[in-house]
Amino acid sequence: MASTTVLITGANRGIGQGLTECFLAEANHTVIAAVRNPEHPTVQKLQELPKDPDSQLIVVKLDASVEEDAKNAVTELQQKHGIDHLDIVIANAGIGYIYPTVADVKISDIKAHMECNVYGVIALYQATRDLLKKSSREPIFLPMGSSAGLLINHLPIPNAAYAPTKTAINWYTIRINDEDEWLNCFTIDPGHVSTDLGDGAAVAVGIGEKAPLSVQDSCEGMMKLFARATKKEFGGKLMVYTGKVSQW
């Protein structure tokens, strides 16, 4: 069986950690955990995750808020670890720490969210594009989506720093998929997942202390999508972890 190489940003927490665990359990997978701080205790926990005997974990530093980090990470993967292609890149790293109205949001907070959630995704795409092109299969570039960024089914809650970043990601997803005929670029709404970010949002909008969906259930749904993802079926679309296609 041919090996599959997967790179996941924000891999040591929440959804990123859940996907890392799922891919490591698959046979013949090289899973690259891109994390902001490789020395953080949560990264050590990644090393302890169960894995298939023929799969391996590589940890690399990548801070989505630092423009050059994606390029530096790719260089390290090539020179230190011999990575010569990527099959799946999941731009999962993101921040969401404040949920103001448009009247109250600070420009500095909008910039901080854009820096990580949008600019970081574009930097990752540009840095990994050549390695994705060397995949022997139809490669996937996946920016993590969110229902917070919907326009047609707009959620009537204050979210003026985080939500617009996900709307921007939707536009870039469509354009990347159109511009690169060889690449399957789509986004997934993972649901309202109980992570640090998801629970913080739940408290902020007054729906409880925890988000309703577990990391495990969300990731299991997403893994089913990765298993059947083709450009013809998924390319340029916003999928939901349940398998449905969402309107933008």
Hey, what are 92's tokens? 């999962």
For residue 128, give Cα distances in angstroms to 35, 78, 135: 16, 11, 11
Catalytic residue among 99, 125, 162, 241: 162
125 is a catalytic site residue: no
The closest alpha carbon to 8, from 39, 40, 30, 37, belongs to 30
Give the tokens for residue 135: 């995949």
Q: Distance between CA atoms of 44 and 36, rounded to whole angstroms?
A: 13
Find residue 184's DSSP bridge partners: 140
Greatest alpha-carbon span in the chain: 55
Of 166, 231, 237, 241, which one is the catalytic site residue?
166
Q: CB-based burial of residue 26 (10 Å sphere; 0-12 exposed, 13-18 middle, 19+ buried)?
A: middle
Asked if 166 is an active-site residue, the reply is yes
Residues with a catalytic annotation lie at 162, 166
